[in-house]
Structure 1
Amino acid sequence: MGEAKDEKALPGISLRQFEQSDVDHFMAWAGNDQVTQFCRWDTFTCREEALKYLKEVVIPHPWFRAICLENRPIGSIYVSPGTEKDRCRGEIGYALSSMYWGRGIATSAVTTAVASIFRDLPNLKRIEGLVFAENKGSQRVLEKAGFTKEGLLRNYFTVKGKTRDIVIYSFLPSELSC
């Protein structure tokens, strides 16, 4: 019989804001097609484009963090708040270097992020996870982090030239454990 993992407290895993000096670590996963296949953004193929993205998008973003192992970025996690009409909700997204998949790191990062997000972005009343239907690993991450599966959005996004079905998940502040 296997032991249950404490997904909330993996040793050495932390979240922090990105810095421009993280560009080479960022490229390690953001330049990997295996990782970015489920991302809405394209794989970064040159360091200069990645640095520009960090400077212009990531660093000024209201909630975009590096997932770190021993303070070294191995992935990213963000919540994008809605616009004025839907500012009560935010969408979570994350990417993790493929060499760290299956270790509970993404689940730990999502669990840690959710607790911070509702404090840092007090207008949010829900966090949504929109996952490609074929991305079973990411669905497991959200389920293990306590998100509720709400349903399937058919032909919801066209990403990288392909229209995809999306599974939608949500998390509400009332679902935070003490």
Structure 2
Amino acid sequence: MDPSLAKQEKTEDMEISLRPFDLSDIDDFMVWTTDARVARFCRWDAYTSKEAVLERLKERIIPHPWYRAICLDNRPIGAISITPGSDNDRCRAALGYVIGFQHWGKGIATRAVKMAVGSIFREWPHLERLEAVVDVENPGSERVLEKAGFVREGLLRKYFILKGKARDVVMYSFLSTDPMPSE
């Protein structure tokens, strides 16, 4: 079988869900957080120890207001988060997501983003705008957002420092008034 065809598995038969993380998820969480390919476009570097991953789970992930495991059959294979703006920017929040390398290209991230969008505007009725920035060298992530109904707003040049280098990113948004994506 052509390897590129194997990567195009349909996701309709897979049970994809979002749920809060638990400390018992540590081994599954380590699969993608220790992978440099996955961490390439993330603000964190690939982790090298279970202790560091456990500390991140305890200190940042579990207490976060909206950080969920992307699960296949209830086993975490990635993560998705929505971070609220400050008091002055309460009307908007930032979306971020990451998925294990072996699950890239299967539509799982797109489904997870659609699920998160469908949920967050119900959970946070004050929210009017969900936004995401994508590194210009990450076209796969751009496709995820576009398939989930996000609108490409434009290029933000040298928008933030990532791993020691100022990066160009593309801004995407989804408004509460946009048609909700079907999962």
Tell whether 2:98 aligns with 1:95: yes
State how far apart, in whole Å, the 2-side matches of 1:36 and 1:21 are: 22
State how far apart, in whole Å, the 2-side matches of 1:85 and 1:15 are: 29
Cα displacement (A) at 1:45: 1.1
Matched residue, 1:146: 149
Matched residue, 1:19: 22
Summarize the Cα distance change of 1:102–1:122 in structure 2 as closer, same or farther, 3 Å threshold. Answer: same
Asked if structure 2 preserves the Cα contact closer than 8 Å seen for 1:155 and 1:164, the reply is: yes
Measured against aligned partners, the alpha-carbon deviations of 1:23-52 in whole angstroms (never above 9, x if no partner) come to: 111110011000010101221111111111
5 Å-filtered alignment, 1:23-172, equals 23-172=26-175
Asked if structure 2 preserves the Cα contact closer than 8 Å seen for 1:10 and 1:108, the reply is: no
State how far apart, in whole Å, the 2-side matches of 1:78 and 1:49 are: 20
Asked if structure 2 preserves the Cα contact closer than 8 Å seen for 1:155 and 1:163, the reply is: yes
Cα displacement (A) at 1:123: 2.1
| Number of residues of Structure 1 aligned to a counterpart in Structure 2 | 173
Summarize the Cα distance change of 1:80–1:86 in structure 2 as closer, same or farther, 3 Å threshold. Answer: same
Letter in 1 for 2:100: S
Asked if structure 2 preserves the Cα contact closer than 8 Å seen for 1:10 and 1:105, the reply is: no
TM-score relative to the length of structure 1: 0.93
Cα displacement (A) at 1:146: 0.2
Identity, in percent, stands at 55
Measured against aligned partners, the alpha-carbon deviations of 1:106-135 in whole angstroms (never above 9, x if no partner) come to: 000000010111122222110001100110
State how far apart, in whole Å, the 1-side matches of 2:86 and 2:134 are: 20
State how far apart, in whole Å, the 2-side matches of 1:115 and 1:41 are: 27
State how far apart, in whole Å, the 1-side matches of 2:34 and 2:175 are: 33
CA RMSD of aligned residues (A): 1.6
State how far apart, in whole Å, the 2-side matches of 1:124 and 1:10 are: 32
Gaps of 5+ in 1: none
Asked if structure 2 preserves the Cα contact closer than 8 Å seen for 1:133 and 1:165, the reply is: yes
Runs of 4+ in 1 over 2 A off after TM superposition: none
State how far apart, in whole Å, the 2-side matches of 1:119 and 1:130 are: 23
Asked if structure 2 preserves the Cα contact closer than 8 Å seen for 1:80 and 1:91, the reply is: yes
TM-score relative to the length of structure 2: 0.90
